[in-house]
Amino acid sequence: MKPYSQDLRDRVVAAIAAKRQSQKGIAQTLGVGLATVKRWCKQWRETGSVAVRPFRRGRRRTLSVCDTWLQAEVKRQPDLSLAELCERVQAVWNLTVSQSMVCRELQLLNLPVKKSRSMIVHVRRLA
């Protein structure tokens, strides 16, 4: 979703500064939500500007530091289980990670999570 235009933000602040209407009236007149008007009013009081704030990304991925290693490890031994990958990440990178975290990282890297059927058959024969 795109942010509102700077022109609209400036008109809201000008209307607030003029004090001719309530915040609810300004919201209805300019076609924005009341919460948006309140948020811009607060931003204007605190910073003196209603410019678009930079987009904040989420938390940094823990496994982003070992992306290339993880790709090489899966390429070298594609039949590793998630538990085995977790153990190797712990041993090599000293990071405590869960299986779901490793699974999400494999999905982000477009690496296969499903193991080959030949490995399953081979394990069954050994048992």
pLDDT, tens digit, for every residue of 78-120? 888 899 999 999 999 999 999 999 999 999 999 887 666 655 5
Position 57 in a domain: no
Burial class (CB in 10 A: 0-12, 13-18, 19+), 34: middle
Report the C-alpha gap between 11 and 113 in whole angstroms: 52
Which residues form the domain of 108? 62-126
pLDDT per position as a tens digit, 56-88: 778 888 898 999 999 999 999 988 889 999 999
Position 53 in a domain: no
Q: Are residues 69 and 114 in the same domain?
A: yes
Model's pTM, two decimal places?
Answer: 0.50
Neighbours of 13 (CB within 10 A): 19
Position 1 in a domain: no
Q: Are residues 67 and 122 in the same domain?
A: yes
- pLDDT at position 121 over 90: no
Query: What is the Cβ-side half-sphere exposure of residue 31, based on CA atoms within 13 angstroms?
Result: 3
Q: Are residues 66 and 105 in the same domain?
A: yes
pLDDT at 119: 53
Position 54 in a domain: no
Q: Are residues 41 and 75 in the same domain?
A: no
Q: Give the chain's domain count.
A: 2
Report the C-alpha gap between 101 and 74 in whole angstroms: 15
Position 96 in a domain: yes
pLDDT at 10: 94
Q: Are residues 76 and 111 in the same domain?
A: yes
Q: Are residues 101 and 68 in the same domain?
A: yes
Q: Are residues 68 and 41 in the same domain?
A: no
